Amino acid sequence: MLVPVRPQLRRHAPVTVAFYAVHMPIREFFGSTAARRLLVPVLIAGALAASGCGQDRVTYTPAHGSEHSTASEGSTDATAEFSHADIMFAEMMIPHHEQAIVMADLALTRAGDDRVKGLAARIKAAQQPEIEKMQRWVDTSGMGDMHSAMDDAPMAGMLSQQELAKLKSAKGAAFDRLFLTGMIAHHQGAIDMAAQARESANTEVSDLANWITSSQTSEIDEMKALLATLR
């Protein structure tokens, strides 16, 4: 299970990445837990530094009645700005959420415990609208496809193809344990990623990042408690 990346680890992450890269074969390094913990914060932190230059922000007008409206109450100004870091966050979180939905769909048909099925249904119901929201940011910003430079970077907490195949082949109680263990790590990875966007100047982005942090922290606690009853 992944743990949150500590501030001191973030400060020294480039050096740590270099150390691992030198001491491990490249292919092994990029598939390692160390890479999953270190590369995502480094990539987003780099974008945050770049966005501070003030030359890479675009305006976006959210739809009327948007859940995370950027306008203050009573204000007629509904415009907000997305930075490169905001869009990088969205483009990294979208596939992360998509895998969570794949896992949730499996649970709906393969889980043995109704509590696991209920949890999976809630995860899917929450994350599909978030994907749609973030995709609108990407499409409207004109800064899409920023992820192409990091296509090979492992996403924090995501299951490998081998882990996903193992989950697909399991059923009943065995599936329940694999699903809960995998989704706990998956949620923790999302929380680590969201930490980089919680202080975004765009309130839509910061609201979503904070919501991901609070809701998925609560679900982690729920899954840990549920997992304990299955053992």
Residue-wise pLDDT tens digits, 143-178: 866 554 455 556 789 999 999 999 999 999 999 999
For range 25-37, the mean pLDDT: 45
Q: What percent of the chain has pLDDT over 70?
A: 61
Contact 37, 5 (CB under 8 A): yes
Band the pLDDT of 30: cuts 50, 70, 90: very low
Cα Rg of the chain (Å, integer) = 18
Helix axes 33-51, 172-194, angle to 10 degrees: 30
At the second CATH level, the architecture of 7-57+80-230 is Up-down Bundle (1.20)
Give the model's pLDDT for residue 151: 53
pLDDT of 131 over the 80 cut: yes
* DSSP letter (8 states) at residue 111: B
| Distance (Å, whole) CA 146 – CA 16 | 24
pLDDT of 34 over the 50 cut: no
Band the pLDDT of 104: cuts 50, 70, 90: very high
Q: pLDDT tens digit string along 49-93?
A: 544 444 444 443 443 334 443 333 333 233 468 999 999 999 999
Contact 158, 96 (CB under 8 A): yes
**What is the residue extent of each domain of the chain?**
7-57+80-230
Amino acid at 175: F
